[in-house]
Amino acid sequence: LQPCWSEYLTTRIEQNMVVNCTCPISDCHAQPTTAFICSIVSSEEIIAKYEKALLRGYVECCSNLTWCTNPQGCDQILLKDGFGYGAACSKCSWISCFNCNFPEAHYPASCSHMSHMTCAKCNHGFCWRCLKPWRPTHKDYYNCSAMVSKAAWQEKRFQDYNERCTFHHHAREFAMNLRNSISSLRGMPKMRTLTFVLDACKVLEQARKVLAYSCVYSYYNQDTESMDIVKEQTESLELHTNAL
């Protein structure tokens, strides 16, 4: 009997289906306990997978918990603060957005800016990630063709903002690489006075991040009066960032 249970539970764990698994006997809805599973399964590797599955299931069930979204990989669990993004991850320093699936905090751009596209002619809203309608009542998904002149202007405007956004992202990566290079030198003799340079790199990274998402914010913002202020502030930030 034990070998049968061991094979059954091992298979369920490897298929990531152990959290809600029940007794294999038909009409029996009893779920095996953690103590029972650990007494049956002898492989430490399989038990480790089971414990990860339990942790993953717990995080997914808690509305105030989430995983760090660092695309480079991080297994840290974060506590949501309710403001859209929280403090930097204590393990990798990545700042996640808690309100949408975009992998990082994107202030000053809103969550809708990061995924909500709107047709210039018919105002049809859709998600650029999956191309499904933003509002399910819209039915003519592919019957929209904007006028050539307006479409060309919109395309040029998008390209301009996209190029600026990409530039700031690349510049941010440069600052991150520079900080990593300097960090590796701190352990060398006579190199421990580089703390101020590391602090400057961190400020540079954050400034480039804000400038990148300011491009997204500016692209979608239609309020001319507020955009004058945003443009002035962005230009000032970019000037000081370039100097830094």
pLDDT of residue 82: 54
Please give the residue that has the higher pLDDT: either 121 or 225: 225
Which contiguous run of DSSP H or E holds residue 67? strand 65-67
Match 């995983």 to its residue by tokens: 67
pLDDT of residue 140: 39
Q: What is the DSSP letter of 7?
A: H
pLDDT of residue 207: 93
Q: Are residues 167 and 223 in the same domain?
A: yes
Among candidate residues 73, 88, 105, the one where a domain is terminated: 105
pLDDT of residue 205: 93
pLDDT of residue 203: 93
Q: Are residues 75 and 52 in the same domain?
A: no
Q: Are residues 152 and 236 in the same domain?
A: yes
Percentage of residues in the chain with pLDDT exceeding 70? 74
Among candidate residues 51, 81, 105, the one where a domain is terminated: 105
pLDDT(144) > 60? no
Task: Report the pLDDT averaged over residues 121-135.
Answer: 61
Measuring CA to CA, which residue among 24, 20, 12 is closest to residue 49? 12
Q: Are residues 33 and 50 in the same domain?
A: yes
pLDDT band at 126 (very low <50, low <70, confident <90, very high): low
Phi, psi of 13 (to 5 degrees): -65, -45
Containing domain of residue 6, as a range? 1-59
- 74-78, 104-108, 224-228: which has the highest mean pLDDT? 74-78
Q: Structure pTM?
A: 0.48
Q: Are residues 46 and 22 in the same domain?
A: yes
Q: Are residues 90 and 70 in the same domain?
A: yes
Q: Are residues 77 and 54 in the same domain?
A: no
Q: Could you tell me which residues come within 8 angstroms of residue 115 by beta carbon, excluding any fewer than 6 positions away?
A: 100, 101, 102, 127, 128, 129
Q: Are residues 187 and 233 in the same domain?
A: yes
pLDDT of residue 133: 65
